[in-house]
Chains A and B, each alone.
Chain A
Amino acid sequence: MEIHMEYYLVISTIMFFAGIYGFITRRNLLAILISIELILNSVDMNFVVFNRYLFPEQMEGLFFSLFAIGISACETAVAIAIIINIYRNIRNIQAKNLNQLKD
């Protein structure tokens, strides 16, 4: 059975919107972070898939996804650091409590 590009895309789309849904609805910062990872991973997947199917002789998509993975790792590290700091300050990590910046 031949695996079409669309199959990958469907899965990545599902992942993407699951991520979005999670980002908007989850209350916990960690869960939100995980949702962001889902979104990023879906995008990575798209990169790889497009590269593999559309431009097999080039490598940019792969490299880009590697980049994205690296960056998301950094981002996660920073985000977790921030979350820990938030936890230290307000003793929870509920997103609705974080509205101090508006003032």
Chain B
Amino acid sequence: MEYSVLILLLPFLSFIALGLLGTKLKPVVAGSIGTAVLGICALLAYATAATYFSMPRMDGVREAITLFTVEWLRFTDTLSIELGILLDPISVMMLVVITTVSLMVHIYSLGYMHGERGFQRYYSFLSLFTFSMLGLVVATNIFQMYIFWELVGVSSYLLIGFYYTKPEAVAASKKAFIVTRFADLGFLIGILILSYYTNTFSFDVLNAGDASLFSKAAGTTFMGCSVMSWAMALIFMGGAGKSAMFPLHIWLPDAMEGPTPVSALIHAATMVVAGVYLVARLFPVYSMETPEVLVLIAVVGAFTALYAAVVACVQTDIKRVLAFSTISQIGFMMVSLGVSGMGGHEGLGYMASMFHLFTHAMFKALLFLCAGAIIHAVHSNEMSHMGGLRKYMPVTHVTFLIACLAIAGIPPFSGFFSKDEILAATFEFSPVLGVVMSFIAGLTAFYMFRLYYNIFWGEESRHEHTPHEAPKSMTMPLVFLAAVTVVAGFIPFGHFVSSDGTAYTIHLNWAVAGASVVVAVVAIAIATALYRKKSPVPDRMAAAMPGLHHAAFRRFYMDELYLFITKRIIFNCVSRPIAWFDRHVIDGFFNGLAYLSQRASYAVRVIQSGQVQQYAYVILLGTVVIAALVLWLL
């Protein structure tokens, strides 16, 4: 499987080549190179997956294989950053997900970005992103992950700000980078603590389940919690930043300012699940050493899922709805990890989370790509500018519907299977949480169908020109992803991925499954009643609860809060005073010193009058005094 190195190397080379050649290449050539490279990567990833999963298990466990590692930077005798490729079930699964979605996005962008200024730049950034994301998932150690973690952050920054002449895009890209960077600070400190006490960065060693590794940290506490809890919680903070967990989610809705295929790739399918992947990657440590942090993760995930689902119900920008839906779904994955245990049936949550990650990546990418096609057709993001599009865009319509059914959890679409596992795991952990999560699943079905009806049904709004179906390059990926969405649920996922690497056969929990289907159907029915035709009920409902509606529409004022903290507090109350202090107090001190010495020299200067006779007088007096002293002393 040595060829898996190429999966990483090729996108990097393509980034360098496209970046350096830039506008010297024709757009078509640049696009083709990028797409071709990704196609090869995808094939290699499938081959790797096939080889890996067909390898025999060792004692019933799928082994993690470290393909190769090179030392990149040495810190101390024991700590050094190594770059390498680690293949284990989740990283192989991620390889498949990333290359597939990325390939689809590459193909789709050929049509979507056609004729855009900076087409070559776009493809080079896409390659950079793909490279970094692949590097992230195959990381052999936590520091390699951090390196690529930062790289995906920056490629996300570059891609969100792709339309750099648009102020909103620039602001959004900046916000995305800074918020995630803040979270990364936690990640970094977490890594520092973890590595200090365990003396290793390597996932292999950390996940080996060797309790003595953590003995050095035992008994060390900080503010009432053990340092290991701090470390793991801080590492989770990094994940929460990238995965847009409350309260670090604020960057994701704004990130929709980027080109839509980018949103599909980065902000729906791959980068935003990096946090989930991180927790999954360190899951043995979380589970064995710091189960209390897992509870924290579950709580944060559940709250985020609820919060985002509520907000998604009232947004009018279709990409924003999808963004909040993404946040909510990632909340599901986090909850699932949070409630999971290790091994066998205990590890159901872990498996469910990864399964949901997989299916969600496919159908959410599909949703975004559909949204792109729609935006392409009507030149607007606002729901009010759409309506009745099903006649004009049949392919988009059908694929969008499939994705909606999948995310709503209707069998036999893939979302049903993965979400059902999550709910089952949650119910086993705590029935209350299970009920809450089922309610959120209902909300999901509701807002997705609100979106669906508003776009494809309802009144046709006036269009400047008749909307038309997207070109082949755009519909092909839609069809492909829709096909995957339809069949992915039947993959025996537990045989590939499970918490401890043993084979786990999924049994549908019919009670939970039945209940969740009922909830979804009811929610869809409500959405149908409200939105299928123009109806006054939603407006009346909004009018009945103006406070709640407005608050939800403004996303419960989280952005305002952040603006207050950054602009008012950091900028005006910290930075300005510091800058003032620097200029006026510290610099003032040195200027004052200079001023004083100048004054002093003026004072001394009076003695040097320039009057020769005065000098002579002083000399005379001096002579007399010295003479007197000499006489007196002798």
Which residues in A have their C-beta under 8 angstroms from that of B609? 99, 102
Chain A contact residues: helix, strand, loop or mixed: helix
Q: How far is the CB of A57 from chain B (nearest CB, A)?
A: 32
- Contact A32 B608, beta carbon cutoff 8 Å: no
- Contacts A20-B620, A24-B620 given: A102-B605 contact, CB under 8 Å? yes
Kindly list chain B residues whose C-beta atoms are within 8 Å of the C-beta of A95: 611-613
Interface membership of B617, Cβ < 8 A: yes
Chain B 572-621 residues near chain A, CB threshold 8 A: 605, 608-613, 616-617, 620
How many residues from B make CB contacts under 8 Å with A? 10
Inside 8 A of B608's CB, which chain A residues have their CB? 102
Tell me which residues across on chain B come within 8 A of A24, comparing CB atoms. Answer: 613, 616-617, 620
B613–A99 CB distance below 8 A: no
Chain B interface, DSSP helix/strand/loop, else mixed: helix
From residue B178, how far is it (CB to closest CB) to chain A in Å?
Answer: 57
A102 to B609, CA, bound (A): 7
Query: Can you name the residue of chain A whose Cβ is closest to the Cβ of B610?
Result: A99
When the two chains form their complex, are residues B611 and A96 in contact, meaning their CB atoms are under 8 A apart? yes
Determine if B610 and A32 form an interchain contact, defined as CB atoms under 8 angstroms apart. Answer: no
CB contact list, A1-45 vs B, under 8 A: 20, 23-26, 32
**In the assembly, what is the distance between CA of A32 and CA of B612, in Å?**
10
Is the CB of A54 closer than 8 A to any CB of chain B? no
- Chain A 59-99 against B: per-residue CB contact (8 Å), 1 yes, 0 no? 00000000000000000000000000000000000011011
Inter-chain contacts of B610 with A (CB < 8 A): 98-102
B616 contact set on A, CB distance < 8 A: 20, 23-24
Chain B residues with CB below 8 A from A32, complex form: 612-613
Taking CB atoms, residues of chain B closer than 8 Å to A102 are 605, 608-610
CB atoms of B605 and A23 under 8 A apart = no
A23 touches B611 (CB 8 A): no
B504 CB, min distance to chain A CBs, angstroms: 95
Contacts of B45-104 to chain A: CB distance below 8 A:
none
Which residues on A sit within 8 Å (CB–CB) of B620? 20, 24
Residue of B611, B613, B616 ringed by the most chain A CB atoms within 10 A: B613
In the complex, the chain B residue whose C-beta lies closest to that of A103 is: B610
Distance from A63 Cβ to chain B, minimum over Cβ atoms (Å): 27
Q: How far is the CA of A18 from the CA of B608 in the complex (A)?
A: 25
Bound Cα distance from A102 to B611, whole angstroms: 9
State the CA gap A23–B257 with chains docked (Å): 90
Given pairs A20-B620, A23-B613, A98-B610, 8 additional interface contacts (CB within 8 A): A23-B616, A24-B620, A32-B613, A95-B613, A98-B612, A100-B610, A102-B605, A102-B610
B interface residue numbers (CB < 8 A to A): 605, 608-613, 616-617, 620
**What 7 A-B pairs have minimum CB-CB distances, sorted nearest first?**
A99-B610, A102-B610, A24-B617, A24-B613, A102-B608, A24-B616, A23-B616
Q: List 12 A-B contacts (CB under 8 A).
A: A20-B620, A23-B613, A23-B616, A24-B613, A95-B611, A95-B612, A98-B612, A99-B610, A100-B610, A101-B610, A102-B609, A102-B610
